[in-house]
Amino acid sequence: MKLFVGLGNPGPKYERNRHNIGFMALDGIASDHGFSPWKSKFQALISEGVLGGEKVLLLKPQTFMNLSGQSVGEAMRFYKLTPADVVVLHDELDLAPGKARIKQGGGHAGHNGLRSIHSHIGADYGRVRLGIGHPGHKDAVAGYVLRDFPKADEGWLDDLMRGISDGAAELARGDGGKFMNAVALRVAPPRSSATKPKPEAPKAAKAEPAPDSRSALEKLMDKFK
């Protein structure tokens, strides 16, 4: 069994915040893959389904971001899971908007949700890092992540969410490469051959004029014809 954890804050006030991109990703997976209705358990909202032949539990902690680990730890203990069974989807300041990267283990880089999960289950879980960009100064980070995505971001955000849903089965199987390919096909689709500019046909060479073989007298006479 796999546990997919999306990070965010509960309630409509935070629903479209940059910090809630993990919740958004799980909502897309649940909707697209026929998961069960969301219900409350483990201090979270959970939904169950199957991806790539694997039973998967989607979990959105309702403890607020800074206490996310409480909910994750409770679910893991109930199902007797190990950190290797867990994948956390979260916002990432150090990636450009629309970029995604997968990672196994490592530090929390100051992310409060990851810091909480570290304290409850250790660091050896998987992550899907979802780029939201950086405001440019660390003092602006708190306000930046707790603001809604602007309308200008809706295009790449929708593509990213669809890509994650497309690759969800590969993520459940543990095939990170195929998962990233699915995301890339949505975020940066290859140009079809129909859209490539057609090469210009070579221009026909202009015919060189034939040399004038008339005598000077004939040229003069032709002027008066």
The verdict on whether 134 is a catalytic residue reads: no
SS (H, E, C) the chain: CEEEEECCCCCHHHCCEHHHHHHHHHHHHHHHCCCCCCEEECCEEEEEEEECCEEEEEEEECCCHHHHHHHHHHHHHHHCCCHHHEEEEEEECCCCCCCEEEEECCCCCCCHHHHHHHHHHCCCCEEEEEECCCCCCHHHHHHHHCCECCHHHHHHHHHHHHHHHHCHHHHHHCCHHHHHHHHHHHHCCCCCHHHCCCCCCCCCCCCCCCCCCCCHHHHHHHHCC
| Enzyme catalytic residues | 19
